[in-house]
Chains A and B, each alone.
Chain A
Amino acid sequence: MPSFSLAALFQRSRRGRLLQENLTAYAFLAPAGILIFLFGIFPVAFAFFVSLHRWRRFPDAYIGLQNYEKALGNLGYILFFWLALGGLIAAAAASRRLLRALQQTEYKKGALAMLAGGAGGYVALLAIDWFFKLVPAIMLIPRQVRGQNTSLPLFMEKLGESFSQPAVQAAGALLPGALLALALLLWLSLWRFRSGGSAALVSYSAVATVMLIASLFLLQLTITETEAALAEARASGEALPIWSQLVFISGGIALIGIAYRIFQRGIRALDNRRFALMLLGGLALAVGGYLLMAEAPAALAAADDDLLHGFWVTLMYAAGTVPVQLAIGLLLAYLLFQPIRYRGFFRMVYFIPYITPFVATSIVFRIIFDAGRSAPANRLLAIAGIAPQRWILERNSIGELLGLPDFLAGPALALVVIMIYSTWTYIGYDAVIFLAGLGNIPGELYEAARIDGANGWRIFRHITLPLLSPTVFFLSLVAIIGTFQAFTQIWILRTGAVGSKVNTASVYIFDELQNSNRYGYASSMAFVLFALILLMTIFQNRVLGRRVFYG
């Protein structure tokens, strides 16, 4: 008699085996999936939700985009218009990909899969809406049960109360039916009437739907909030030129983009056309630049100065560390790549600053760059005959110290110390990655160049550097994002004497969170930072990425 087990039942049919494989995979994935959802995907929506509220430890009133207005002034609203627009463009791109995939599948099955995906996206958004209606009440539970004897029944009672709020119930009323319909559609499209491209179609369609609805929601939110701000300004008799600023600033940026394209064309064109194109590009650049210069300060007038200063510090920090560390890293890697002895030893030593705890090495730098006359850095200066400096205690900028005019002020000397530290830590890392990149360049190219009579510098310039450009690109991206994330070294190396002179945007946000408990405001600033990083990554990919030569 055959043994009758669940496994045997599964094994009997092809579909049974498929189902078993699927279920095993989901079981394997479940712990990671739950945790990544909880600590990776959900937090983004949650942070955005928090940023729309006045929120000090515990949720307070919904205030729309006011946190963003506080951070960036009118530019906060403008930023949201751009975000919504970007979302719509992304939705259009996703739809195009969807249509292309649809053309390659059997028409009816494809349409079914598309419908299922769209329903999936819609249901996901419904569930998110329902969940975030629930969140404010849920987030109050920890405070409500604190002090009382925290027991499971009490917690569950509070949870039940939050679920039975009218607003939550109204938002969730459709959900069970929608889930059921979705399950049916998914079963039909992915199981009963499955075709080759079904799974891809479902996911494309879901992504397109989510993007479209989310960006429409964002657009609507932005317009309502802008109107509200305008109405408020009108009531108090002020002028609030958000619309004109939106048009002019967007126009200015668009013109600069167009100028860039025209220049690109002009370089390739013939003499006469080249001159005309250059002229046109210059004109576009000038007008765009003028619009930006004229309007951006006004749009930023009401912004948080500390945050703007934080961005400025981040910018100086990036400009002062990234090129230097890449150049030195490349030099060391290139030298290490020559046929020399003890290569392993050198590589090992260069890597040490990067792997040791930043806290500990920052403390050494704190002592080396102390303000005392006998601190190591000042001792070195004394050998060179230079007067001692106050280093980490110096809030004056290097420009001021050198007696340069104001617009050449540059970073505070204290920030320069942090830059030196940062460069010191990352050089070894850059060198190791460059070394790996150098190893990937085929040796025949060098041989061929040598036969053609090229010397060291020309080989480096025309063979090594172009073939290394993907590595340079990668490292510069990592390094720039790293400056946005830098925390430990600033935390240790900043002193009371320099105040906020060395606070990058991230550090300012963290201060705002830890010292003032302004969760809503800190979230909105973090989101602005996120938007900035995202923009920069896209820009780097689009503009610089094109110049990268992939073998």
Chain B
Amino acid sequence: MAEARTRLNWSRLGIYAVLVAGVIVAIGPFLWMISASFMTLSEVNLTRLLPEKLLWENYATALRRANFLDIELITDPASGRLQALSVSGYIWNSARITLITVSGSLLVCIPAAYAFARMRFLGRDFLFALFLSTMMIPGIVLLIPHLLTVIWLGRLSESLLGPAGAWFNNWPALTIPFFASVFNIFLLRQFFLQIPDDLWEAARIDGAGHLRFLISVVLPLSKAPIMTIVTLGFIGSWNALMWPLLVTINDEWRPIAVGLANFVTADTPGDLNLQMAASVITVIPILVLYFVAQKQFTEGIAQTGIRG
């Protein structure tokens, strides 16, 4: 009996050893990234594990040099009162892009998913199969048609609305193609299907139509899938690189991934400590979101197996 227990402990110990080694490999690079972001350049070049002194000013320099965030207070010269606040930089751009993409996506996908899940109409299964089949088209095939479409639609809307209506190098090119996400529609539909029919019967007897039912019954029940969509959408927009590289030509709307990539590739070999600080800044919002909404992340991805 005692022997069995010691053997058990040994195998336990082995398991923990492997798991801990995994932890070191998984977050070692992060820890060093954070540590290096506080170092002097020569400390990074010598691969010190820890900085001698925490150089917080690396972050200020990185924010400025990489053009991450620039907040300007415009004051009235006469009275000294605050007149306007001008915010610019890649973080601000990415925040705007993410907000527009995620809210647009919810507005477009929720009704569509509801229609597929809870309404009967001609061609429903056909349309759903058609929508799903678009998920297997690789992104690189879509790149050129998207570019051409965006340029064309942009010119049309420019002639309607003037320069503000441009799509290229402006928010529409960066957000509108991602509004109708088949993945989101699929995720929401699966959830809406589980809502009991009794609720709909009751609502209908009370005189509610589909829109009413969707807004006042279905949506309040669907916080979990909506949170999943918001978190995955956030990661998707925050990380996007290939498409924004193609449709932005200056910093007015260029998102953070492109900004960081440009900062690093233009700055070779460069100030590695600043590169690390800029990377940490890029990672922080995602990590915060991850720790807050961890359940949605892991479960959303485990359920559906697809990253946003």
Interface residues of A (CB under 8 A from B): 21-22, 24-26, 28-29, 31-36, 38-44, 46-47, 50, 138-139, 141-142, 145-146, 150-152, 154-155, 190, 199-200, 203, 331-332, 335-336, 338, 340, 346-361, 363-368, 370, 372, 374-376, 379, 424, 427-429, 432-433, 435-436, 474-475, 478, 481, 484-485, 487-488, 491-492, 495, 506, 509-510, 513-514, 519, 522-523, 526-527, 529-530, 533-534, 537
Contact = CB atoms under 8 A, between A and B. Distances in A.
Contact of B27 (A352, A436, A475): A352
B297 A355 contact: yes
A43 B145 contact: yes
Contacts of B46: 374
B296 to A, nearest CB: 11
A501 to B, nearest CB: 17
A40 B182 CA distance: 9
B159 A151 contact: yes
B59 interface: no
Interface stretch (B81-89, B195-203, B272-280): B272-280
Nearest to B148: A139
A349 B18 CA distance: 14
B16 interface: yes
Contacts of A347: 298
Among A25, A151, A360, A488, residue most surrounded by chain B Cβ atoms (within 10 Å): A360
Given A47-B144, A349-B23, A29 B242 contact: no
21 contacts: A25-B121, A29-B112, A32-B185, A35-B177, A35-B180, A39-B180, A40-B180, A41-B130, A335-B19, A340-B16, A352-B30, A352-B290, A354-B307, A360-B260, A361-B283, A363-B264, A365-B29, A367-B44, A379-B47, A432-B301, A488-B241
A346 B256 CA distance: 29
Contacts of B305: 433, 474-475, 478
B100 interface: no
A522 B131 contact: no
B229 to A, nearest CB: 13
A143 to B, nearest CB: 9
A29 B47 CA distance: 56
B103 interface: no
Q: What is the predominant secondary structure among interface residues of chain A facing chain B?
A: helix
B149 A39 contact: yes
A50 B145 contact: yes
Contact of A357 (B139, B159, B239, B297): B239
B115 A364 contact: no
Given A355-B286, A359-B282, A368-B29, A435 B302 contact: yes
B141 A356 contact: no
B239 to A, nearest CB: 5
A313 to B, nearest CB: 15
Q: What is the predominant secondary structure among interface residues of chain B facing chain A?
A: helix
B105 to A, nearest CB: 10
A162 B294 CA distance: 53
A145 B160 CA distance: 13
Given A25-B115, A478-B305, A513-B144, A351 B242 contact: no
B191 interface: no
B141 A376 contact: no
A203 B140 contact: no
B51 interface: no
A370 B46 CA distance: 12
B76 to A, nearest CB: 36
Given A35-B179, A359-B261, A142 B152 contact: yes
Given A190-B122, A332-B22, A357-B238, A142 B112 contact: no
A146 B126 CA distance: 41
B235 A355 contact: yes
B218 to A, nearest CB: 12
A474 B257 CA distance: 29
B141 A47 contact: yes
B239 A358 contact: yes
B111 A367 contact: no
B265 interface: yes
B260 to A, nearest CB: 5
Given A28-B112, A46-B148, A491 B261 contact: yes
B202 to A, nearest CB: 18
Nearest to A378: B47
Contact of A355 (B155, B261, B272, B290): B290
Interface string B86-116: 0000000000000000000001110110111
A57 to B, nearest CB: 9
Given A366-B264, A376-B32, A523 B182 contact: no
B119 interface: yes
Contacts of B176: 35
A22 B210 CA distance: 12
Given A44-B137, A367-B275, A32 B301 contact: no
Task: Enumerate the 3 nearest inter-chain pairs by beta-carbon distance, A residue then B residue, closest first.
Answer: A43-B145, A35-B180, A32-B112
B19 A336 contact: yes
B108 A203 contact: no
B15 interface: yes
Nearest to A138: B152
A491 B297 CA distance: 26
Contacts of A348: 294, 298
Given A38-B149, A363-B276, A487-B241, 16 more contacts: A24-B210, A28-B111, A32-B179, A35-B108, A50-B148, A203-B123, A335-B18, A348-B294, A354-B307, A359-B257, A359-B261, A429-B307, A485-B139, A513-B246, A526-B143, A530-B141
